[in-house]
Structure 1
Amino acid sequence: MAEFTTILDGFEVMMRLGIHPHEVAPQRVVVSVEMTVVYPGPLGEDAIGEVLDYDFVRTGIRALTAERPFALQETLCEAIAGLCLADARVRRVKVRTVKADVYPDARVGCEIVRSH
């Protein structure tokens, strides 16, 4: 069995996220995802069909953040984790979201770790 960590790091999306009146407008949110992916054995070919194509995570995050606003970063992290764990090869996922511009002197974020 082979175990890999597949990473999507620093993915920026503009989305509605928050509970405060000033967060009604879309804001910049930075998303990072680490997925522990298990394959039945060593990879035999240098072909995308052999591995998890991380494009599905990027596309899925873009769709999630475009289709509805989120009040809480915790809920957003949970939704992204669920998206990743929908692929049976993903055994563990860590999702981090950061509101990059909500405060002038700090970034605020949330992180979740889930596994099968």
Structure 2
Amino acid sequence: MPLDTVFIQALQIETIIGVHAHEQNAPRPLLIDLEMGTDIREAASSDRIRDAIDYSAVADAIIRLAAERRFQLLETLAETLARMLFERFPIASLRMTIGKPGAVDAARTVGVRIDRRREDYAACGVR
């Protein structure tokens, strides 16, 4: 199967995240880049959103989850988002980068990048 990419760059979300007490008081902005591997041929043929990965729906799901939960680590947020995306959307692979601007004074941003495939979650029942 060909693996094409649907992407979202610099999605800004707000969430409460951090290990320090002052970080748990108010939401802070994070930036997320996503690359979702999929086969786009059916969507290209039909020209219908139902056959595509709806990147607006993906963004809304991420924003909603981030607003509803609190996290200490970016790693936990990344893994939680990855599991949710594989549960809800027909993607075969995912590369996600989450940046936390302002976390280190001398850096523009810090963050994590994960690469996952659908089969990484097979043992957990995610299809």
TM-score, normalised relative to structure 2? 0.81
**Alignment partner, residue 47 of structure 2:** 46
Alignment of 1:7-22 (within 5 A): 7-22=7-22
3-state SS of paired residue (1:65): helix
1:108 maps to a residue whose letter is V
The whole-number CA distance in structure 1 between the counterparts of 2:34 and 2:66 is 15
**Runs of 4+ deviating beyond 6 Å:** none
Shift of 1:22: 2.4
**Alignment partner, residue 78 of structure 2:** 77
| 1:102 matches 2:103 | yes
Tell me whether 1-10 or 14-23 shows the greater mean CA deviation. Answer: 1-10
Shift of 1:20: 0.9
Percent of residue pairs bearing the same amino acid type: 28
- Provide structure 1 residue ranges, at least 5 long, that are not aligned to the other structure: none
| Structure with higher strand content | 1
| Structure with higher helix content | 2
Root-mean-square deviation over aligned CA pairs: 1.9
Shift of 1:58: 0.5
The whole-number CA distance in structure 2 between the counterparts of 1:72 and 1:20 is 11
Tell me whether 79-88 or 4-13 shows the greater mean CA deviation. Answer: 79-88
Alignment of 1:25-36 (within 5 A): 25-36=26-37
3-state SS of paired residue (2:112): strand
- Provide structure 2 residue ranges, at least 5 long, that are not aligned to the other structure: 119-127
1:37 maps to a residue whose letter is T
**2:43/2:52 contact within 8 Å kept:** no
**1:16/1:70 contact within 8 Å kept:** yes
Higher relative contact order (CA 8 A, sep 6+): 1
